């Protein structure tokens, strides 16, 4: 498994935008099909938005203590996207997605990110070791000719 790139971020309002730009650049350099970049970007956006919004609430005003690290690995069959953070422990793999709304009138915003992630990814794994969360998202490696 080859490591393509890594990035370290400080949690904050620009972290998600920076990470998505970085992932797009990695995808361009690795010559991923548009679909691969799309599904990984969507999943990264969902996971990282939740980490930034909820994982570091306890550290509000405590600048410099929060760290988020990202790494992308790839082999012939898989692309792995690892997220590490030292925020509040939270295992999204143990959560059940909110039920689908029965009508547009009843629809509420939010609660469907995990459903999207499970749709686009082959696997999602979570570990908490010491003071660090580790979320690993695994997607199929795709080619333009043969989509996985």
The pTM assigned to this predicted structure is 0.82
Please report where in the chains the tokens 């393509």 appear, as a residue. Answer: 4
Question: Cβ(38)–Cβ(119) under 8 Å?
Answer: no
Q: Per residue in 54-86, pLDDT tens?
A: 888 765 444 558 999 999 999 999 999 999 999
34-54 and 113-120 are packed helices; what angle lies between their axes, rounded to 10 degrees? 150
Domains and CATH numbers, the chain: 2-101+110-140 (3.30.565.10)
pLDDT at position 133 = 96
Rounded-to-integer distance, Cα 131 and Cα 101, Å: 37
Task: Say yes or no to pLDDT of 35 above 70.
Answer: yes
Distances (CA, A) of 146 to 77, 99, 117, 127, 140: 12, 33, 22, 32, 11
Selection from 122, 38, 131, 137 nearest residue 92 by Cα: 137
């Amino acid at each position: 498994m080859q490591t393509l790139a890594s990035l370290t971020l400080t949690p904050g309002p620009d972290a998600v935008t920076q990470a998505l730009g970085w992932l797009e650049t990695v995808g361009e350099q690795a010559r991923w099909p548009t679909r691969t970049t799309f599904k990984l970007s969507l999943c990264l956006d969902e996971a990282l938005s939740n980490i930034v919004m909820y994982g570091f609430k306890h550290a509000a005003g405590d600048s410099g203590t929060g760290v988020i690290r990202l790494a992308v690995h790839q082999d012939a069959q898989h692309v792995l996207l690892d997220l590490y953070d030292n925020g509040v422990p939270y295992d999204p793999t143990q959560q059940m997605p909110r039920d689908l709304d029965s009508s547009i009138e009843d629809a509420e915003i939010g609660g469907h990110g995990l459903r999207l992630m499970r749709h686009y990814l082959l696997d999602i794994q979570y570990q908490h070791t010491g003071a660090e969360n580790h979320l690993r998202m695994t997607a199929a490696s795709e080619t333009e000719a043969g989509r996985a």
